[in-house]
């Protein structure tokens, strides 16, 4: 299985190279980075935790679904875990296709679904010294999302 | 008596104070019954129970899914990746 969860810093250029394809007319790259503010206040870093085996499986399923919905050439996804500093890359999604429209749409679909469906959690490390798990939505059931 | 592995993630891990444990359950339980048994062992989970979804062997399942010997049951708090 292709690795999709990593402890090491993400090299976005590497993802671009991975999806580069002679038949593609464009590549869309989304890069998520650690922001210095949140609803909880000023943030100095984020700790990411993943149920690795399940998250990699879910991301692979999401990629397959994107390939069914759009004529995509290649997809590469990498999500970081561990303690990240401000501006570090937490997630990167690269999609190549013959025309830009489907690459933009598929990239958006993939990142949105990862945030909703993949068992990955984040804890904000606040400037005040406190730490806070970010509570989003309960994870979706794969059956209810058509995969 | 089914013996299962329970994985605690994120808030659940911090509430319980451990990453995983092996527990024995009575025969014939479904996921909802198993969660009740786990919350009974670890009352700290009561507060976040509503936000938790359950995965069995790495697939999110519904409450009526039957538990089998050797299952890996994971407590998944609400996610916010990315």
Q: What pLDDT is attached to residue B82? A: 67
In the CATH hierarchy, which top-level class contains the domain A5-135?
Answer: alpha beta
Enter the ipTM: 0.92
Structure tokens at B16: 């319980």
pLDDT in tens, A84-124: 999 999 999 999 999 999 999 999 999 999 999 999 999 99
Give B28→chain A minimum CA distance, Å. Answer: 23
Place of tokens 């538990």: B67
Three-state SS at A108: helix
Give chain A positions within 8 Å (CB) of B59.
142
For A134, other C-beta atoms within 10 Å of its C-beta total: 17
d(C-alpha B41, C-alpha B38), whole Å: 5
d(C-alpha B3, C-alpha B19), whole Å: 17
CA-to-CA dists, residue A65 to A25, A52, A146, A147, B73, angstroms: 21, 20, 9, 7, 26
Give chain A positions within 8 Å (CB) of B49.
none
CA-to-CA dists, residue B44 to B9, B12, B14, angstroms: 14, 9, 9
Structure tokens at A10: 């993400």
pLDDT in tens, B67-79: 999 999 999 999 8
pLDDT in tens, A5-45: 999 999 999 999 999 999 999 999 999 999 999 998 999 99
Give B48→chain A minimum CA distance, Å. Answer: 10
pLDDT in tens, B1-59: 899 999 999 999 999 999 999 999 999 999 999 999 999 999 999 988 888 999 999 99
d(C-alpha A123, C-alpha A100), whole Å: 35
Give chain A positions within 8 Å (CB) of B9.
49, 51, 119, 121
Q: Rounded to 5 degrees, what angle do the CA atoms A92, A140, B73 make?
A: 100
Q: In this model, does residue A144 exceed pLDDT 90?
A: no
Asked if B1 and B22 count as a contact pair (C-beta separation under 8 A), the reply is no
Residue extents of the structural domains in chain A: 5-135
| Residue B82 to residue A139, Cβ atoms within 8 A | no
| Residue B77 to residue A53, Cβ atoms within 8 A | no
CA A15, distance to chain mean position in Å, is 12
Pick the CATH number of B3-77 from 3.30.420.40, 3.40.50.970, 3.40.50.1970, 3.10.20.30: 3.10.20.30
Residue extents of the structural domains in chain B: 3-77
């Amino acid at each position: 299985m292709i690795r999709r969860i990593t402890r090491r810093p993400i090299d976005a250029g590497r993802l671009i190279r991975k999806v580069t394809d002679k038949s593609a007319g464009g590549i869309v790259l989304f890069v998520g980075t650690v922001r210095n503010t949140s609803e909880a206040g000023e943030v100095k870093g984020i700790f990411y935790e993943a149920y690795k085996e399940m998250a990699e499986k879910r991301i692979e399923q999401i990629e397959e679904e994107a390939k069914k919905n759009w004529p995509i050439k290649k997809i590469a996804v990498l999500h970081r875990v561990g303690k990240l500093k401000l501006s570090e890359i937490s997630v990167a999604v690269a999609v190549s296709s013959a025309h830009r429209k489907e690459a933009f749409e598929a990239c958006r679909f993939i990142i949105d679904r990862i945030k909703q469906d993949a068992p990955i959690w984040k804890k904000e490390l606040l400037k005040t010294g406190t730490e806070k798990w970010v509570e989003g939505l309960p994870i979706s059931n794969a059956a209810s999302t058509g995969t | 008596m089914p013996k299962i592995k329970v994985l605690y993630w994120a808030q659940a891990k911090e509430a319980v104070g451990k990453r995983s444990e092996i527990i024995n359950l009575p025969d014939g339980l479904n996921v909802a019954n198993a969660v009740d048994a786990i919350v009974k062992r670890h009352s700290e989970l009561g507060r976040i129970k509503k936000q938790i979804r359950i995965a069995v062997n790495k697939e999110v399942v519904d409450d009526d899914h039957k538990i089998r010997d050797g299952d890996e049951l994971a407590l998944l708090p609400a996610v916010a990746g990315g």
